[in-house]
Amino acid sequence: MGTGCTKLNYKHLVEVSNPNLQPNDRTNTPNNSRSLPQADYAKSRTTSFKKKKSMSKDKDFSSYIEASAAEIDPYATKTSEDKDMILTALNSHFIFTSLTEEDKEMVAESMQLYLFETGAIVFEQEMPARSYYVLRTGLLEVFVNGKSVNKIKPGEGFGELALLHDNPRSATVKCSAPSGLWGVERQTFRKVIEEMNTQIYEQNREFIEKVTLLQPLNPRQKDSLAASLVIYKYYSGQKIITEGETGQQLFIIKEGIVSVQRGSQEIARLHSGGYFGEMALLNNAPRSATCVAVDGPVKCLVLSRETLQKNLSNQLQDIIEKNTIMEAINKSETLSLLNKHQKELICKDIDHRVYKGGDVVIPQSTLCKLKLYIVISGRLQYARTSHTFADKGTCVGDQYITQVNPEDVKYEDDMIAASDMKVGELTKYKFEVSIGGKYEDVVKENAATNILRKVFLFKTLDSSQMKELFSIINTEKFSDGEVILQEKSQSQHIFIVKRGKVDIMRGDVIIRTVTKHDYFGERGILFESAASATCRANGNVTLWVINNNDFINILNENMRKQLLHRIRMEDERAELEDLAIIRQIGRGMFAKVYLVHPRDSKNLYALKVVERRVIEKFAIQEQLLLEKHILNLCDHPFIVKLIRTYKDYKRIYFLLEYVHGMQLSEILMKIGLFTNSDTQFYLGSLILALQYLHERDIIYRDLKPENIMINDTGFIKLIDFGTAKIIPSRTYTLVGTPHYMAPEVIVGKGYNKNADLWSLGVCMYECLCGRVPFGNEETDCYRVYEEVLEKEIDWPDDIDPVSETAKNFIEQLLSKYAESRAGGSIDNLKKHEWFTGYDWDNLINEAVIPPYTPNLGEKTEDLQNNAGHVYMWDAPLDNESEEEESLPDISDTELEAYKKSIPENWDEGF
């Protein structure tokens, strides 16, 4: 990727695992053969990288301040003409097209007035960008390499790429006359957009909770709609909808009052939180009334039919009815124990019956065990007393149809419809067909196959072994701080976390944190040795507990290998002074990575080293702590493992699992286009890794072939967690590599874990087409962002056609609507037609044959060929005195304020 696409926010390190391939460079590749001219491609990438380096050395950024020749008028007020001028300028650039009118107004309001004299320079070519400007008065001249190329007149905006990052300016802008410019800095712009959209999102989310029509939606669907709501403003007397027209939108009143009129008569007034337009939207029928804004401006949150379909993937009516049934099932003490697939089959198989008010739904003396009823809409009541028997979203008869030998209990009164209502009905026979057998047997099997299979240790067990496992497993609960297993005590059990977190500690230091479906205590299964650490409950914890003697009976060779591998890494006791450096294997913005081995061992590890002077200069303490915390949470076969951390007075260190292999980007260069089955292997592996991370609220944020290692057995390892973050809902920081960034990341309005799925789609396209889908021929980030935001997917005609199912899957992942990428969940991604028949269990068990296995020789060759090892304390590390690259993506004032907020003992956990 050219010189314009390598800068990131200074807090977010992009690590390089292979020093010969820089992760942010991307150039064009030939696509007419699986065999690419590797030398030419590598040369092109190297040339691009050298341009970037030379530019950094030629210019001194340290003393440069953009617009330093200007006088800022702190008291300048914007006239209505000024605001119109700014808004017109904003509307002319693609960066602002996704902003709402309120966003643009807030940006305009935040702009300050810069006053320049004739001859003054606004900014210089190749110097870091800082602000976006709109010329108010005067005249500006644009120079490229000293040559005049253009003039900027009042009302024109320029420098908009500065609002995304600090890439070098492509031209010099000079004042030809005294000039006034409205300007906004990048940090101010992004802060305004973040604060505005956070507030709007939270308000929208709160409003959705109040709309009774949308209450049956689950939290994920509500989050999706909250992010998709559009705000419209109407003035007094303005018609919002008109009686008789076709309805395409649902309106929720945010501010003001709306008069509902039929003919010339007002029939209702709606206030904040009220809604209208839903019936026409649901039934595709003409509007039954006219709605008019009254008493000043009215702001409405609007959901279109298209938005609902894209976000909910179905008609609103169907979604609401299905979710109502699901709500009832999940509230049931017995039905809630069924797995997701069985619940969905009940939804699919249940008969929908419509009753009018007064109709008998359940006749008196009917046996309760014969049928399951679910109230989808309306209310069920006793015929004699009219008291409510069951409300909407409630199951009736569930406790009887799930019993093995239920008593012949009967309904003692007619149960009638209180008003027009809809009821789902399922006989006991059809219920057992739907769930796949007798309820009691099905629930037991669910616990064995659907829950315990999520524990990677048990992936290789067959169905009969799973049933045996379920028969020997017990459940125990522990309170916050309670010791589950004491260091140096003899463990008689293996523990699996069903709910909560467990801290693994040596002394007072937390080595790692075990979370849902992870395990500990395995040492007692393989060795007659004491526990190597104390295991303590972090909050309330529920565990599955298995006696070692029972577990030995189902232990197979694959499980034994997995346990031994993990124990070996956990048992690594080498101190920093015991580590010998073999060679440097990677370098990033802030860190270097070395291949190391303990003095008395042939085990190889990767040691990531960050100097304290760099940490303090760029204030990346918080990011390093977060990276350590995230890696401590991860224990997955497709994710690199953290062994331990160290510190001394000069540096912070991460000792990591060494991946003896190649980057996926290298394999793409070596092989060329991947086949459909090759791509399924790599995409499937990445989906499993992302599913693991997303279940723990971890967003990766820089998924690309350079961060995907293929080890010496051909399986993937996701590396470099310097940009990862734990987010329960949304985040705003511009982070990642431009060609792989989702649209919502670029525009700064907030994004969630679905941004990773966009990057996944880019990777899939690259595997099958040999290029990235957006900005492949661009080296200017501005152009890359423009294509990501505006361009549709092109399918190259110089390669073999991509299958229609693969195209459909890529188009889903690269949907501009973030919530539609997963199709509801990552489990649904795995069920996509493109993956039909794919064996996910064999993939996670590494029981499939990989498409490509790197031939790199044995790991021990590194030890044999590097006899003159140095130890960490014997000499300075390579190039340690070199000045790190400057990343001025934050003002000096903000950086100093951030530094002051960092506690002195921030590194206590290392």
Flag whether 488 is marked binding. Answer: no
Q: Is 857 exposed, middle or buried (0-12, 13-18, 19+ CB in 10 A)?
A: exposed
On whether the CB atoms of residues 48 and 779 are closer than 8 A, the answer is yes
3-state helix, strand, coil in the chain (%, to 5): 35, 25, 40
What is the per-residue pLDDT for 317?
A: 73
Q: At what angle do helices 316-331 and 340-349 cross, to 10 degrees?
A: 120
Banded pLDDT at 864 (limits 50, 70, 90): low
Which carries the bigger pLDDT value, residue 873 or residue 826?
Answer: 826
Q: Is 383 exposed, middle or buried (0-12, 13-18, 19+ CB in 10 A)?
A: middle
pLDDT exceeds cutoff 80 at 243:
yes
What is the per-residue pLDDT for 567?
A: 74
Cα 827 to Cα 420, 716, 838, distances in angstroms: 37, 20, 13
Query: Cα 574 from chain centroid?
Result: 35
Banded pLDDT at 192 (limits 50, 70, 90): confident
Q: How many helices (H) and strands (E) does the chain have?
A: 28, 40
User: Looking at domain 3-57+661-844, which of 3.30.420.40, 3.10.20.740, 1.10.510.10, 3.40.50.2300 is its CATH number?
Assistant: 1.10.510.10
What is the per-residue pLDDT for 863?
A: 62
Residue carrying the six token digits 């012949």:
408
Banded pLDDT at 216 (limits 50, 70, 90): low
pLDDT in tens, 765-781: 999 999 999 999 888 88
What is the per-residue pLDDT for 703?
A: 95
Query: Other CB atoms closer than 10 Å to residue 663's CB: what's the count?
Result: 24
Least confident of 54-68, 312-326, 854-868: 54-68
Banded pLDDT at 739 (limits 50, 70, 90): very high
> Which of 82, 166, 518, 702 is flagged as catalytic?
702
Banded pLDDT at 652 (limits 50, 70, 90): very high
DSSP 3-state of 82: helix
782 CB contacts (<8 Å, ≥6 apart)? Answer: 4, 160, 161
User: Looking at domain 71-192, which of 2.130.10.10, 2.60.120.10, 3.30.2130.10, 3.30.70.260 is its CATH number?
Assistant: 2.60.120.10
Amino acid at 134: V
User: Is there a catalytic annotation at residue 702?
Assistant: yes
Task: State both tokens at 387.
Answer: 């008291």
What is the per-residue pLDDT for 24?
A: 35
Q: How far apart are CA 682 and CA 764, in angstroms?
A: 9
Note whether 71-192 and 461-555 share their fold. yes
Cα 853 to Cα 1, 464, 660, distances in angstroms: 27, 34, 11
Going from N- to C-terminal start, the domains of the chain cover: 3-57+661-844, 71-192, 317-441, 461-555
**Spatial CA neighbour of 652 closest among 624, 672, 679, 622:** 624
pLDDT in tens, 98-154: 777 878 888 999 999 999 999 999 999 999 889 999 999 999 999 999 999 999 999
pLDDT in tens, 554-593: 777 777 777 777 777 777 778 888 888 888 888 877 889 9
Query: Other CB atoms closer than 10 Å to residue 564's CB: what's the count?
Result: 12
What is the per-residue pLDDT for 74?
A: 86
First-last CA distance in the chain: 35
Mean pLDDT of all residues belonging to the chain: 81
pTM of the model: 0.66
What is the per-residue pLDDT for 354?
A: 93
Helices (H), 297-449: 305-312, 316-331, 340-349, 398-401, 428-435, 439-446
Banded pLDDT at 35 (limits 50, 70, 90): very low
477-493: average pLDDT:
88
What percent of the chain shows pLDDT beyond 70? Answer: 84
pLDDT exceeds cutoff 70 at 10:
no
What is the per-residue pLDDT for 630?
A: 92
Banded pLDDT at 185 (limits 50, 70, 90): very high
pLDDT in tens, 796-854: 888 888 899 999 999 999 998 888 898 878 888 998 999 988 888 888 888 889 999 98
pLDDT in tens, 349-407: 999 999 999 999 999 999 999 999 999 988 899 999 999 999 888 999 999 999 888 88
What is the per-residue pLDDT for 94?
A: 78
Task: For the domain covering 317-441, report its CATH number.
Answer: 2.60.120.10
On whether the CB atoms of residues 742 and 817 are closer than 8 A, the answer is no
Banded pLDDT at 313 (limits 50, 70, 90): low
Which residues of 87-219 form beta strands (DSSP E)? Answer: 112-116, 121-123, 131-137, 140-144, 147-152, 157-158, 172-175, 179-185
520-533: average pLDDT:
74
Cα 358 to Cα 387, 417, 419, 424, distances in angstroms: 13, 5, 7, 17
Banded pLDDT at 895 (limits 50, 70, 90): low
Fold observed for domain 461-555: Jelly Rolls (2.60.120)
What is the per-residue pLDDT for 370?
A: 92
Q: How far apart are CA 83 and CA 104, in angstroms?
A: 10
Q: How far apart are CA 499 and CA 514, in angstroms?
A: 10
80-93: average pLDDT:
91
What is the per-residue pLDDT for 163?
A: 87
Which carries the bigger pLDDT value, residue 33 or residue 195?
Answer: 195
What percent of the chain shows pLDDT beyond 90? Answer: 36
Banded pLDDT at 257 (limits 50, 70, 90): very high
What is the per-residue pLDDT for 7?
A: 33
Banded pLDDT at 855 (limits 50, 70, 90): confident
Query: Cα 52 from chain centroid?
Result: 30
What is the per-residue pLDDT for 25?
A: 36
Banded pLDDT at 896 (limits 50, 70, 90): low
